[in-house]
Amino acid sequence: MLIKRTPDRYDKLQILGGMAAADDILTGGKADGHGHTVNAKFAAGTVGRGPNRIAYSDPGKNPAPGIYKASMPNGKKINLMRVMFTDFCKMDCAYCPNSIYVPRKRYAFKRDELADTFMELHGRLAVDGLFLSSGIAGDGTKTTQHLVETVEIIRKKHGFKGYIHMKVMPGASRELVEKAHRLGSRLSVNIETPEPDMMRRISPHKDLQQDILDPMAWINDLTRESSGGAVGQATQFVVGAADESDRQIYRRVDQMYADWNLKRVYYPPFRPARHTPMEEKPPVHSGREHRLYQMDWLRRVYQFPTTEIDLAFDQSGFLSLEQDPKTVIAMENLDAFPMDLNAVSKDQLLRIPGIGPVSAGRIIENRRQHSIDNWRDLQAMGVVRKRAWPYVVFPGQRPPSGKQLRLDMFGEAQDRRAAESAGAALPPPISSKLASIMEQPAAYTTTPDHACIPGSKGAMCAGCPINPASLSANYKN
């Protein structure tokens, strides 16, 4: 966007609110750095290269700059004005399009100006809440002070009582974190990377412990100790920026969920930004982001213990891109399957791929009335048949040995990862073929001498995709 005159507050909203997809921390969309809107960071230029390059100068993409739909913790959707106080940043985070490396004109709101703009939009019923972020102008404390003073005007002068999500800048003082906690509905400090040495590598002037983890611990204390103020905090990584493994991310996430009142963690994948030291680094596969969200769900919602989630990582510490983590864990625990849905606990039901908390609840409710003995019933309860079928047995069927189900899908994924990192020839992609074969449950027939369940003992039905003969035939091409 080219602005020749002095920008007014609407120009600034357009630039600093941006025209990009909303912050990951709001919607799971594309974000970077502090979770700033990618487009907002670039008044001129583009983020990324090649197919992942993100255009930022298409006004048609966001006719209402800076306003995004966001889901609240209660599931309600609201219009959020998402804006940066300034896109100036004196930091040198090597992945960030907002860093000092990027030559472009920067903009900043004045405190009153931003507060008035928000209140005007709120008065017109265009927005219900505010998400306020910033680059680091000066230092973390000074910038957080600007944000706090802006929110103070909105709360005290204008009497706004609605939702305000404030970023706390890395390095903010405890005093300002306390003020932010009193004013905000939710706070977030972006962790970006899991380990201190990684932080030193990609953000040389940030100290993970002092600048990020300490403020997060303070927010946790404040949230626990006081009845008012922000009700929780969130954070986000820039996945792949420091070449960290998924396991390293998980270790940090596990610690944060266990120790602090963390509401959410977001996993936007690294994308190269022009003019930064990482502009030639390849973008991270978006499938990795998806798997990390699935892992997060297992940890946060299903409350799988670490010992179980550990099974989802391969030897290099990565989640499979081919199989979701819950399926990988189930395949490592095949002795526990198949399960009789009429007999197992809710915790056990949650171990079955294709069964989530809602469908597990429905199964428990329904089985109080009648035995669950067919797929039609299960599908009506929300069970995903194509994922669940190898792991379920109905009354009257003879359960097979779990060992029979122990197909080497997970092991093969590990082999592929190891071969890839060693630069060796890749083994054939067995698991994807097998996965697609396994997604064809209809081909089964029951024979008198054994229950027709994948992996059942004894003679296999002809044509059964789990029959070793079928498998080897399928693997030959």
Residues near ligand SF4 (CB under 6 A) are: 33-34, 89, 91, 93, 96, 98-99, 135-136, 203
Shortest Cβ 169–ligand SF4 spacing (Å): 8
Distance (Å, whole) CA 17 – CA 22: 9
Distance (Å, whole) CA 33 – CA 56: 16
Nearest to ligand SF4 of 238, 388 (CB atom) = 238
Shortest Cβ 44–ligand SF4 spacing (Å): 17
Shortest Cβ 33–ligand SF4 spacing (Å): 3
Shortest Cβ 24–ligand SF4 spacing (Å): 13
My answer on whether omega of the bond before 338 falls inside 30° of 0, hence cis, is yes
In 3D, which of 275, 268, 285 has the Cα closest to residue 94?
A: 275
Nearest to ligand SF4 of 191, 393 (CB atom) = 191
Shortest Cβ 187–ligand SF4 spacing (Å): 16
Nearest to ligand SF4 of 92, 373 (CB atom) = 92
Shortest Cβ 97–ligand SF4 spacing (Å): 8
Nearest to ligand SF4 of 46, 467 (CB atom) = 46
Nearest to ligand SF4 of 37, 203 (CB atom) = 203
Nearest to ligand SF4 of 203, 223 (CB atom) = 203
Shortest Cβ 188–ligand SF4 spacing (Å): 12
Shortest Cβ 124–ligand SF4 spacing (Å): 30
Those residues whose C-beta lies under 8 Å from the C-beta of residue 63, and which sit 6 or more positions away, are none
Nearest to ligand SF4 of 95, 163 (CB atom) = 95
Nearest to ligand SF4 of 26, 329 (CB atom) = 26
Amino acid at 7: P
Shortest Cβ 467–ligand SF4 spacing (Å): 54
What are the backbone angles phi and psi of residue 259, rounded to the nearest 5°?
-90, -30
Nearest to ligand SF4 of 38, 460 (CB atom) = 38
3-state SS assignment for residue 286: helix
Shortest Cβ 18–ligand SF4 spacing (Å): 13
Shortest Cβ 276–ligand SF4 spacing (Å): 9
How are strands ordered across the β-sheet holding 186-188? 67-71, 77-84, 129-133, 164-167, 186-188, 233-236, 262-266
Those residues whose C-beta lies under 8 Å from the C-beta of residue 477, and which sit 6 or more positions away, are none
Distance (Å, whole) CA 67 – CA 79: 6
Distance (Å, whole) CA 96 – CA 190: 13
Distance (Å, whole) CA 311 – CA 304: 11
- The structure tokens listed for 34 are 């502090």
In 3D, which of 432, 435, 421 has the Cα closest to residue 465?
A: 435
Strand partners, 77: 71
CB of 456 within 8 A of CB of 398?
yes
Nearest to ligand SF4 of 180, 409 (CB atom) = 180
Nearest to ligand SF4 of 99, 323 (CB atom) = 99
3-state SS assignment for residue 133: strand
In order, the DSSP letters of 26-93 are HHS--EETTTEEHHHH-SSS-BS-GGG-B----GGG-SSTTEEEEE-TTS-EEEEEEEESB-------
CB of 82 within 8 A of CB of 16?
no
